[in-house]
A and B are shown apart, each in its own frame.
Chain A
Amino acid sequence: MKTILEGSQACAEAVRLARVQVVSAYPITPQTHIVEELAKFCSDGSLNGRFLCVESEHSAMAAVIGAAAGGVRTFTASSSQGLALMHEMLHWAAGGRLPIVMAEVNRALGPGWNLWADQTDSLAQRDTGWIQLYCADGQEVLDTTLQAYRLAEAVNLPVMVILDAFFLSHTWEPVDLPAQEEVDQFLPPYAPRFRMDTDHPQSLHGVAPIGVYMEMRRSMQLAMEAVPELLERIEEEFFARFGRRYGPVEPYLCDDADVILVTSGTAAGTARVVVDQLRAEGQKAGLLRIRMFRPFPVRSVHEVLKSALKVAVLDRNCSFGAGGIFASELRSALQGGNPVPVYSYIAGLGGRDITVETIRDCFALTRGTDRPAIESVWLGVKEELLK
């Protein structure tokens, strides 16, 4: 059914359609609309699930860890400081091999206190063992959330579905809402491989001595390595049923492009407009949107970028002392394969708009500079405020 939803609502609708059994969350702008909607669904019965109110994000994650260990399908959502407070529990969820799905609405970390879009919060959690999928529009938020349960439950790793604050979470747009029966066929009830069961007592998440810990971590890495192929299979099935597919990366006009811009999230939508403009002006511009950040889609980026002369990466995030995080990951992924120069740009931190002009600047600077700078180039910075 064609409808119009906010990105947040698209996420909540997907959780309803996934028949999630336990939701626990602590509200934080801009994640609030997701959990408000779910609290409503749980209370009016449209979702036959329990909404557990807790006193913090750390407890929210702890609650869904407990529920997931009990063998039910779970969901939580957070942003920024809330996600940072969950950090310890994120390791617990992944190390415990629990297929929890959470929505993460990208918001800047304070201080300075800021409610707006910035990916540094989720990217700071990249080593916790969570799969990370970055969405570009409301439909993709809904679809990715459904796919996330299939993926999580197949590899026993948790999945973060990530959406930009406001530019996606609070934007109303057309979304095709699939029928419950269709979703049920795509996503059957959760069949846990292991669970807390008082009739068959066992110990979960206990001590792992030197003799087994490393193997447990190796098994997490192997599960991550299995994700690209699994996602492809799940998407194949999703496509057959719903007619939409995204891939771990989404290339646009890359085949003959000499300069390819790599970015993620909603900035990719605006970048598509710029690529169209540049093509109309006779430039061979391309766009590669990275949807899956963990595991990093090394093979896919090699394939798409193989014939580009220059690659520009636009990051709405920063690892202080290193620079744009997607750029660092991309440079490392390209090692040993493609020697294409990677130009790194940072823009849009703390919700500053990434406009058509910002992205045109990325292309123009990349085209006009012989070799990439060692450090990331920051765009749109007011130099007078730095004095």
Chain B
Amino acid sequence: MLEIRLHGRGGQGAVTSAELIAIAAINKGNFAQAFPSFGPERRGAPVVAFCRVDDRKINIRAKVYKPDVVIVLDPGLLSLLDPTEGMGEGGILILNTRKKPEEITQVSGRNIKVVTVDANKIATEELGRPIVNTTMLGGFVRATGLLGIEDIKEPLLERFGKKLGERNLKAMERAYHEVSIGE
């Protein structure tokens, strides 16, 4: 089972990202579960969302404490929390930041793959505003290989409609190509 935790701020669409991953995984024949951090939603406040993907029915209903993958939508959160909390060896940390993976000193010396992408820039250029949840899915697809861009395309278009969906898709594809993957 792959366990994913997403950190964002209210209004950035962390929960939507978790849902899109789950929908894409289920469409591929897997089982998945996506749920929010259960706070009263406030725009701008730190929020957490969770997603699990497995090839059999998922029974566990607790939050994700030992994530295999962590996605951070907001660069500002890195100074507020430890995104790698609970992450073991071989974890994957996907960050929205202008920095390169080797500049992320918080995880130096640990066996964690750091993947960075300047999602603010991409989203601003493609969507007109820095709402990065769909852009970051491009980073997720590239970093994990769990799903292909094609798998997320359909749920994305369904969620956002054709016009907005295609712009989100383009942002996701750009992120897929523009990520920096650490050693």
Contact = CB atoms under 8 A, between A and B. Distances in A.
Interface string B59-87: 11111010000000000000000000000
A266 B59 CA distance: 9
A160 B61 CA distance: 22
Interface band, chain A:
20 to 34
A51 interface: no
A167 B36 contact: no
A273 B40 contact: no
B61 A270 contact: yes
Interface in B70-119: none
B34 A172 contact: yes
Interface string A223-267: 000000000000000000000000000000000000000000011
Contact of A172 (B33, B38, B60, B65): B33
B23 interface: yes
Interface residues of B, number: 20
Contacts of A167: 35, 61
B32 interface: yes
A174 B40 contact: no
A269 B22 contact: no
A269 B58 CA distance: 8
Nearest to A167: B61
A354 B34 contact: no
B26 interface: yes
B32 A174 contact: yes
Given A2-B26, A4-B22, A4-B23, A170 B36 contact: yes
B12 to A, nearest CB: 17
A247 B38 CA distance: 30
A345 interface: no
A363 interface: no
A137 B22 CA distance: 16
Given A4-B22, A4-B23, A174-B26, A355 B62 contact: yes
Interface string B142-162: 000000000000000000000
A328 interface: no
Contacts of A354: 61-62
A172 B22 contact: yes
B36 A166 contact: yes
B173 interface: no
A270 B36 CA distance: 17
Contacts of A353: 62-63
B67 to A, nearest CB: 14
Contact of B59 (A115, A164, A168, A270): A270
Interface of A: 2, 4, 29, 115-116, 164-168, 170-174, 266-267, 269-270, 272-273, 351, 353-356
